[in-house]
Amino acid sequence: MTTSLPEIMLPGRKVLVTGGARGLGEAFARALVAAGAGVVISDVLHERGEALAAELGDKVFYVPMDLSDADAIKAGVDTAAKHLGGLDGLINNGAITNSGGKQMADIALDTWDRVMAVNVRGTWLTTVAAQPWLAESGYGRVVNLASDTALWGAPNLMAYVASKGAVVAMTHSMARELGPQGITVNAIAPGLTLVEATEYVPQVRHEHYRNGRAIERAQVPEDLTAAVMFLLSRGSGYITGQVLPVNGGFVMK
């Protein structure tokens, strides 16, 4: 599935995308550029991030950022905002899985802690670092990447599922804290999407999703970009604290 232009335009908006070097983050960066936004992508995949930024042109800048490192997060967000001349939007996309295919009793403590450090603490600290920039813009939009695994209770993926459940809860709380500053905070909850990071997923899990969806086909990154663009747009200004499953109807709320 391909799209030529996103359905919603964001001319002049300034957006930071974490985990932007590949997969969903790359898809969001490409859609933002097509929508007219200035974009900073951050990641720990430095060569890929720099190459993508160079490919997408002078509206895109790459900033190294390790979401498990509090100092790197603060420095990365400030660098991104200074490069763009402020921040209007933040997509908290960066995350790791690391517990796929393991029963909960088999997950090592350091694996659990690593997933929580990146997916939960990283999302929290990135939003904290971006908060003053988003408030100053008078427009702030935060989009968190949750997962429908936390909505249906996917087995053999406990650390990741727990981390994304925390992202859902944080979305609600962040929305209440940041609302008085004019910042909206929402989340999308994708289903199993065909990206490099999900290549490890067994075919039986892919089939489980395909057979359970109302729209019976594989999910691809472009299925998510329009929802994210909308949540970054002016038209979503009275929507906050919401979690939108984007998964072909596998989970319905």
Catalytic residue list: 160
Tokens of 50: 């720099």
* Contact assessment for residue 96 and residue 114, using Cβ atoms and an 8 Å cutoff: yes
In sequence order, what are the residues at sequence separation of 6 or more whose Cβ sits closer than 8 angstroms to the Cβ of residue 158?
99, 102, 103, 104, 107
d(CA 44, CA 48): 9
List the end-to-end C-alpha distance of the chain, in Å, as a whole number. Answer: 26
Q: Which of 125, 127, 143 is nearest to 13 (CA)?
A: 143
State the Cα–Cα distance between residues 62 and 48, nearest whole angstrom. 10
Cα–Cα distance for residue pair 221/25, rounded to 1 Å? 9
Strand partners, 141: 89, 184
